[in-house]
């Protein structure tokens, strides 16, 4: 057998025996004659020459690696192979190269309070919607809004709150197919076709400060700001009730 034919297959098919490797008597003549009759299959030993590293943990065919590969075979005849850029750990195969570390399915984030991060969409406890600028969370979003008196000037109560309130409607409605499509379709949780709310154009007519037009041309409302109008409307209504009580009692 010519010397250039010696490879992992010739070790496996029985042309080189373990003792010849161990005692250092492998010669060109022996390799060319093909008279080395037995296969290397020894689960307790590891053999290596300058070109090969061999590890056989229990399978008939063994696991072979050259200088570019490290081989670990814990359970299967095929083994698990990794080159110098990869490490293979456990039967489920966790891989890491020298440039990357994966912490979860999609994102490795370093805690750095000085770094600004921007996402297209964001999901907490759920998948991101894919709609740019949208945040979804399956639990409470807890936050406080700046409202300290020291930040505010020119403070006055909302004028004619009942009159303003009468110009807007609380409505039931169905979202259009266009809206449903843009937001990923009805899921019965975040997106439901039938909904309730207000009409942005009606709010804009009386409280333009809490309505904005987005880049796509559609209007949006800061719903939390409507609370201020409701507070003043209730106070005005109470005053009217108190006046009626005085008249009736007088």
Establish if 249 belongs to a structural domain.
no
Establish if 191 belongs to a structural domain.
yes
Instruction: Show pLDDT as tens, one digit a residue, over the chain (250 residues).
Output: 444 455 555 555 655 555 556 566 666 666 566 554 443 333 334 444 433 444 444 444 444 444 333 444 444 444 444 444 444 444 444 444 444 444 444 444 445 566 788 889 999 999 998 888 899 999 998 999 999 999 999 999 999 999 999 999 999 999 999 999 998 899 988 999 999 999 999 999 999 999 999 999 999 999 999 999 999 999 999 999 999 999 998 7
Establish if 48 belongs to a structural domain.
yes
Establish if 148 belongs to a structural domain.
no
Establish if 99 belongs to a structural domain.
no
Establish if 100 belongs to a structural domain.
no
Cα Rg, the chain, nearest whole Å: 38
- The total of structural domains in the chain comes to 2
Q: Range of 224's domain?
A: 156-231
Establish if 138 belongs to a structural domain.
no
Q: Residue 222: how many CA atoms within 13 Å on its side-chain side?
A: 12
Nearest to 213 by CA among 202, 223, 201: 201
Flag whether the pTM goes above 0.75: no
Show which of 66, 83, 100 is a domain's final residue.
Answer: 83
The DSSP result for 78-122, as a single string, is S-EEEETT---BTTTTB---SS----SSS------TT-----SSE
Nearest to 15 by CA among 3, 23, 215, 24: 3
Nearest to 21 by CA among 64, 61, 50, 55: 50
Determine the Cα–Cα distance for residues 139 and 115; give it in Å rounded to an integer: 26
Show which of 45, 68, 83 is a domain's final residue.
Answer: 83
Show which of 58, 83, 108 is a domain's final residue.
Answer: 83
What residues are paired with 172 via a beta bridge?
196
Establish if 71 belongs to a structural domain.
yes
């Amino acid at each position: 057998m010519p010397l250039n034919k010696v490879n992992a297959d010739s070790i496996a098919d029985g042309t080189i025996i373990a003792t010849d490797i161990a005692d250092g008597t492998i010669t060109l003549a022996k390799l060319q004659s093909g008279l080395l009759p037995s296969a290397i299959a020894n689960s307790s030993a590891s053999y290596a020459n300058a070109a090969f590293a061999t590890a056989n943990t229990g399978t008939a065919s063994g696991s072979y690696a050259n200088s570019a590969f490290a081989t670990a075979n814990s359970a299967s005849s095929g083994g698990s192979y990794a080159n110098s850029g990869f490490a293979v750990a456990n039967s489920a195969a966790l891989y890491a190269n020298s440039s990357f570390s994966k912490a979860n399915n999609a994102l490795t984030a370093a805690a750095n309070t000085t770094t600004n991060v921007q996402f297209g969409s964001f999901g907490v406890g759920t998948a991101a919607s894919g709609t740019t600028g949208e945040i979804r969370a399956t639990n409470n979003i807890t936050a406080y809004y700046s409202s300290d008196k020291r930040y505010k000037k020119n403070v006055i109560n909302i004028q004619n709150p009942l009159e303003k309130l009468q110009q807007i409607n609380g409505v039931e409605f169905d979202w259009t197919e266009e809206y449903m499509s843009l937001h990923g379709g009805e899921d019965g949780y975040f997106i439901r076709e039938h909904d309730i709310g207000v009409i942005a154009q009606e709010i804009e007519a009386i409280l333009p400060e809490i309505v904005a037009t987005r880049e796509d041309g559609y209007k949006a409302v800061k719903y939390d700001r409507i609370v201020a109008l409701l507070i003043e409307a209730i106070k005005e209504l109470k005053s009217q009730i108190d006046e009626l009580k005085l008249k009736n009692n007088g």
